[in-house]
Structure 1
Amino acid sequence: MDREQEEMQFLGLFGIYKESYKVIFSWRKIFSQITLALVLPLAFVFLLHIQVSDVLFSKIIYNEIELDETRPETARYDKISGILSKEWAVFLLFKALYFTVLLVFSLLSTSAVVYTIACIYTGREVAFRKVMSVVPKVWRRLMVTFLCIFVAMFGYNVVAVLVLVTCAISIGNTNFGIVIFALLGIAYLVGFVYMTIVWQLASVVSVLEEDYGVKAMIKSKGLIKGKMGVSIIIFLKLNIYLHLIQFAFERLVVHGPSTGTLGRFGYGALCFLLLSMLMLFGLVVQTVIYFVCKSYHHENIDKSALSDHLEVYLGEYVPLKSKDVQLEQYNV
């Protein structure tokens, strides 16, 4: 990152993209190693989940139809019911395993990318072995932050459901009610996107500063002010690309028997490659946004202090103190 921090506050949408591409290609060796070790497994698990879920759920749907067409209290009915129970148990167990593995690789990938960019920013020599030695320690801090945002998201969704149910009971199926539901739906999506953006920035804060968990979320909420517009656009664009890749994988690979086995394999490999590149780029972008937000709020990070605290000494990771990162104000 050759750009001075004072200049980063002026980066807009394309400036952030350009800076992210520059970081990746300038340090392609270390990012290639991180991709092979963490990002590729993350993308593979994501796509594998789509394929396996489709197979398992198709069997459940088939047996549900068979059960509906079978007379109750018969041997065949009991047999199908037992099979359904086992299939649902396998499906839910697979979902739980998927979300666990996805979370682990997601947090590990975030830790590796953020730490690597911090080393690049401070001019430190960065090696893959050093990054992987720091990752497990940073991962624990990210887990605490994730659990906090998970609780916040859970509470947010519970309140949203209660509000929708209350409105459905009090207003009913009227033209006025449809308008209210539409407005509530838009408000819910806006809140969901905002909380997700705060969480992503809080993940970077958890790696580079001493704050994590609720404190990181509060710090992230303050940092994102002034750069909310560009952050929302980037978030929406990345998610649109993600859903396009997912849609293509489902149509061409999961539900694409007409293309043949070789064709499905080729489309699957292409989706896998595109998804891996998108995930790496997304992680780099959210770290660049952190430095942009720091610069926008005139918070000058002391590179020497950041470098000292990123040092791994006898296997110990030392987080950056808030007094070092939180800055002294500079005049623009």
Structure 2
Amino acid sequence: MDKEQEEMQFVGFFGIFNESYKAIFAWRKIFTKITLSLILPLSFIYLVHMEVSNLFFRKIIHNEIELDHTRSGTPKYEKLSDLISDEWAYFWLFKAAYFTLFFIFSLLSTAAVVYTIACIYTARELTFNKVISVVPKVWKRLMVTFLCIFIAMFLYHVAALAILIGCVVSIGGSNLGFAVFVVLAILYSVGFLYLTAIWHLASAVSVLEKAYGFNAMVKGKNLLKGNLWLAMVIFLTLGIAAAIIQFAFQSLVVEGSGSGMANRIAYAIICLFLHSMLSLLGLVIQTVIYFVCKSYHHENIDKSALSDHLEVYLGEYVPLTAKDVQLEQYHV
């Protein structure tokens, strides 16, 4: 983050990755602590969830196959039926616990990284203890924004599913139907990436400005204008990298029983490390993109005002007016 605000608008695809890497490397001590305390547990929860879910499914499928070959009404049939019901109940309880923990650590990690990058940008004194003390005050704002994004994503998927079902019913399985399906798949992917980009920008806005929830989403959408495709390509690249790590973990660890326990543990550690590093990079990148978009729209981020805004989280400063903590508009 050694570039001036006016220069940030000219930072492109590789420049954003470069700025993010330089920030992490220059402040590697504090980012290492954030990674070990928040991001590593987040990645561990995510990968362990894949392994445990696979174990649940294998047991359930095995018992259901055995149930299909058992005569109904017999004691064995009733026992298997009750066992399958219990296993499904345990599976959904595990899913609920997983989503709760994943959601909490996602919020905490996002709050910590965005706040850290903002402090680096404003040249504020920064310690790990300060970051950790701020996180509980920021994550509530992020939670509202995440819930709003979840609602938007849910409605988007419902609408996409309704359109798909409508096309299948009206067109059927003809060649035209296949062509329409391909077009819809492309449009769906673009729309999903668009919402993903808004989500990341809204997360940064929720920490660095007074807006959160749907207001942060609107601000994020407006900031993306002019840099939408750049942001979408970057988040697509990060998504592909995450998918590769997930595929490797699924193949080498979850389904790699023939590789031996020692190899599976080694692969799991490598995947955990790579996923943690990628998660950290992604969180830093979303904040860098925020600064790039602000610069592109000539919205000057007053470092003094932003610093005051960050101090509010620590209880060190109480602004006299809302204007004092808002990011001011720069008119060329």
Normalised by the length of structure 1, the TM-score is 0.96
Partner SS for 2:288:
helix
Distance 1:226 1:314, change over 3 A: closer
Deviations 1:151-170 (A, max 9, x none): 11111111112111222222
Tell me if the contact between 2:302 and 2:327 (Cα under 8 Å) persists in the aligned partners.
no
- Once residues 131 and 314 of structure 2 are traced to their aligned partners in structure 1, the CA distance between those partners, rounded to angstroms, is 14
Measured after TM superposition, the shift of residue 317 of structure 1 is: 8.5
Q: Which amino acid aligns with 1:159?
A: A
Distance 1:10 1:81, change over 3 A: same
Q: How does 1:78-157 map to 2 (within 5 A)?
A: 78-157=78-157
Asked if residue 58 in structure 1 is aligned to residue 58 in structure 2, the reply is yes
Measured after TM superposition, the shift of residue 94 of structure 1 is: 0.7
Measured after TM superposition, the shift of residue 314 of structure 1 is: 6.4
Alignment-derived partner of residue 24 in structure 2 = 24
Alignment-derived partner of residue 10 in structure 2 = 10
- Once residues 277 and 132 of structure 2 are traced to their aligned partners in structure 1, the CA distance between those partners, rounded to angstroms, is 20
- Once residues 322 and 222 of structure 1 are traced to their aligned partners in structure 2, the CA distance between those partners, rounded to angstroms, is 20
Partner SS for 2:10:
coil
Distance 1:117 1:260, change over 3 A: same
Q: Which amino acid aligns with 2:293?
A: C
Aligned length: 331
Partner SS for 1:215:
helix
- Once residues 322 and 187 of structure 1 are traced to their aligned partners in structure 2, the CA distance between those partners, rounded to angstroms, is 40
- Once residues 190 and 74 of structure 2 are traced to their aligned partners in structure 1, the CA distance between those partners, rounded to angstroms, is 51
Q: Which moved more, 1:256-265 or 1:101-110?
A: 256-265
Distance 1:165 1:236, change over 3 A: same
Partner SS for 1:71:
coil
Measured after TM superposition, the shift of residue 330 of structure 1 is: 3.9
- Once residues 183 and 155 of structure 2 are traced to their aligned partners in structure 1, the CA distance between those partners, rounded to angstroms, is 20
Tell me if the contact between 2:253 and 2:265 (Cα under 8 Å) persists in the aligned partners.
yes
Deviations 1:238-284 (A, max 9, x none): 11111111111111111222322211111111111111110000000
Asked if residue 249 in structure 1 is aligned to residue 249 in structure 2, the reply is yes
Asked if residue 197 in structure 1 is aligned to residue 197 in structure 2, the reply is yes
Measured after TM superposition, the shift of residue 327 of structure 1 is: 2.5
- Mark the runs of 5 or more structure 2 residues left unpaired by the alignment: none
Tell me if the contact between 1:134 and 1:315 (Cα under 8 Å) persists in the aligned partners.
no
Q: Which amino acid aligns with 1:72?
A: S
Measured after TM superposition, the shift of residue 222 of structure 1 is: 0.3
Deviations 1:190-246 (A, max 9, x none): 111111110111000000000000100000000011111111111111111111111
- Once residues 301 and 205 of structure 1 are traced to their aligned partners in structure 2, the CA distance between those partners, rounded to angstroms, is 12
Tell me if the contact between 2:309 and 2:325 (Cα under 8 Å) persists in the aligned partners.
no
Alignment-derived partner of residue 274 in structure 2 = 274
Tell me if the contact between 1:209 and 1:322 (Cα under 8 Å) persists in the aligned partners.
no
Q: Which moved more, 1:189-198 or 1:136-145?
A: 189-198
Measured after TM superposition, the shift of residue 312 of structure 1 is: 4.7
Distance 1:256 1:214, change over 3 A: same
Asked if residue 37 in structure 1 is aligned to residue 37 in structure 2, the reply is yes
Tell me if the contact between 1:210 and 1:322 (Cα under 8 Å) persists in the aligned partners.
no
- Once residues 146 and 315 of structure 2 are traced to their aligned partners in structure 1, the CA distance between those partners, rounded to angstroms, is 24
Tell me if the contact between 1:107 and 1:143 (Cα under 8 Å) persists in the aligned partners.
yes
Deviations 1:68-124 (A, max 9, x none): 222222222111111110111111111111111111101100000000111110010
Q: Which moved more, 1:15-24 or 1:307-316?
A: 307-316
Tell me if the contact between 1:110 and 1:283 (Cα under 8 Å) persists in the aligned partners.
yes
Q: Which moved more, 1:257-266 or 1:93-102?
A: 257-266
Deviations 1:27-52 (A, max 9, x none): 11111111111011001101111111
- Once residues 150 and 318 of structure 2 are traced to their aligned partners in structure 1, the CA distance between those partners, rounded to angstroms, is 26
Distance 1:139 1:268, change over 3 A: same
Q: Which moved more, 1:257-266 or 1:29-38?
A: 257-266
- Once residues 288 and 148 of structure 1 are traced to their aligned partners in structure 2, the CA distance between those partners, rounded to angstroms, is 23
Measured after TM superposition, the shift of residue 14 of structure 1 is: 0.5
Alignment-derived partner of residue 328 in structure 1 = 329
- Once residues 329 and 70 of structure 2 are traced to their aligned partners in structure 1, the CA distance between those partners, rounded to angstroms, is 73
- Once residues 315 and 71 of structure 1 are traced to their aligned partners in structure 2, the CA distance between those partners, rounded to angstroms, is 68
Alignment-derived partner of residue 299 in structure 2 = 299
Alignment-derived partner of residue 287 in structure 1 = 287
